[in-house]
Amino acid sequence: MHVREILVNVDIDLFSPTLVGCAVGLAKRFDAGLIGISAAAPNVAAMGYEGAAAVGLLFEQEQRDIEGRLAQLEALFRKAVPAGIPAAWRGYVGQPNATVARIARCADLIITGSNFGGPTRSPNRSIDTGELLVKAGRPVIIAGVGLSEIRANRIVVGWKDSREARRAIVDALPLLLAATQVTIATIHEADLGEEKASLEDVVGWLRRHGVESRADTVPASGGGPAEALEALASKLEADLIVTGGYGHGRMREWLFGGMTRDLLSDRTVHRFMSN
């Protein structure tokens, strides 16, 4: 895989020059183009037959407001992208997750911010990163809040012998090749001998692709696998965590918790996830 086109999601309500700057940095590193995308849908509740005319007027007004805002965001986006980087803009009146997932067909990688405002925001105006991860069919980098660049020089890969983890390490290969330090870490949960054998296979596979890495088996912590992985990343001063997403299914993690859900809620570090 080569990173030739990066899709960066621009929040309709909060333009983040820092997030665009993160995307610009990666575009420079991989000689890639950028596509800025933003979407929102009118959020008008039904009022019944007698209120249909009023609903229609409100819908049209909100649609015009969205179109005006998209034009503003395009100007901000183009101003934030240096002239030497090929850049395109796509603004849509539509549901954000479905729109970004559809336009992911144009890109090798998606960059989005950590959820702004949490679950209280309307799904018609904000990205649900978990849903995007499942639907996009592309790897997603969820940028940490306030981090001005995605250096990806020191990377920790959270490894578990699952389909999602295998997919993630393949998708992350361009970043791993460019990194100065790569650690493949598994959280000890089952048979230690099998876990170490799995890690050795991954380290060997990466070496054949030109990536030198080290393996680490991390004891599980009381806070769960995500906390243990985050602690290791902090210890190694890693600037990117790579994992598969929703190995147990999104609904199960929503009900019972899991690594993906916990990592998505961590806004202090960049996370590369693939499903």
Predicted local distance difference test score (pLDDT) of residue 45: 60
pLDDT at 42: 93
- pLDDT, residue 256, reads 35
pLDDT by residue (tens digit) across 165-201?
Answer: 999 999 999 999 999 999 999 998 878 899 999 999 9
Q: Tell me, what's the pLDDT at 265?
A: 83
Complete DSSP assignment for the chain: ----EEEEE--SS---HHHHHHHHHHHHHHT-EEEEEEEE--------STTHHHHHHHHHHHHHHHHHHHHHHHHHHHHHS-TTS-EEEEEEES-HHHHHHHHGGG-SEEEEESPSSGGGS-TTTS--HHHHHHHSSS-EEEEPTT------SEEEEE--SSHHHHHHHHHTHHHHHH-SEEEEEEEE-S-HHHHHHHHHHHHHHHHHTT---EEEEEE--TT-HHHHHHHHHHHTT-SEEEEES-TT-HHHHHHH--HHHHHHT--SS-EEEE-
Q: For position 253, what pLDDT does the model report?
A: 45
Confidence (pLDDT) at 268: 85
At residue 50, the pLDDT reads 55
Residue 49's pLDDT is 53
Which residue numbers in the chain have pLDDT < 70?
44-54, 115-120, 247-257
